[in-house]
Amino acid sequence: MKQNSCKVIGITGGIASGKSTVTEVLIKEGFKIIDADKIARKVVEIGKPAYTEIVNTFGVEILESDLNINRRRLGQLVFNDSNLIDKLNKIIHPKIFEEIVHLIDNYCKSQRVIFIDVPLLIEELDNFKLYDVNIDEIWLVYIDREEQLKRLIKRDKYDCEEAIARINSQMSLEKKREYATVIIDNNNGIDELIIKVKKLIEPFK
């Protein structure tokens, strides 16, 4: 695996754990963030190679009236079918990782440290190795399961059963703790979370 010319820190968490708040703080503090979700949306836009493959694989039923892919509808289609999830991942993962590698190479020319925001970072560690991306540290945004469930229901208007299914579809935060270099506890609200993040990045300024 090649060594990055700057420190690369992966930011991860679980659904509704507060990861977006952490990355917002980092952006405001002037750090470069590579957002895997934004890249994932970009690579499936009309005209991009992944778009045609996805429509051919999953059908026009996943399209909006303007022919854009409805990511929520696509997600619901593949959610409970591991074979369909594998098909989707084989289409979009190479495109996502190629863009991540490109951005790391670009940002590292001028930055001492950059952050990668990846919801499934730990689950994808083997793929990062496959694409010669060296993650120097893993920062996990952590909340208790009960708090996670409460925030998810409030944020996405899921009923309790669907919210539990969404949480259970991911690796548990307890399991992710085993891989984390830094654990950012987010059980005590946004103000305390912001203070913690600012303390963590102080050495990089």
pLDDT of residue 1: 45
**CATH number of the domain to which 44 belongs:** 3.40.50.300
pLDDT of residue 5: 81
Judge whether 24 lies within some domain. Answer: yes
Judge whether 1 lies within some domain. Answer: no
Helices (H), 33-133: 36-42, 49-58, 71-78, 82-107, 125-130
Judge whether 205 lies within some domain. Answer: no
pLDDT of residue 169: 86
Judge whether 204 lies within some domain. Answer: no
Judge whether 203 lies within some domain. Answer: no
Judge whether 117 lies within some domain. Answer: yes
Residue 57 belongs to what domain range? Answer: 7-197
pLDDT of residue 3: 59
Judge whether 59 lies within some domain. Answer: yes
pTM above 0.85, yes or no: yes
pLDDT of residue 81: 87
What does the pLDDT look like over 45-57, one tens digit per residue?
999 989 999 999 9
- In sequence order, the 6+-apart residues with CB closer than 8 A to the CB of 73 are 61, 62
Longest Cα separation, the chain: 50
Residue 135, class by beta-carbon neighbours within 10 Å (0-12 exposed, 13-18 middle, 19+ buried)? buried
Residues of the chain with pLDDT under 50: 1
Q: How many domains does the structure of the chain reveal?
A: 1
At 196, which amino acid appears? K
Angle between helices 71-78 and 49-58 (to 10 degrees): 50
d(CA 145, CA 164): 10
pLDDT of residue 2: 56
Judge whether 84 lies within some domain. Answer: yes
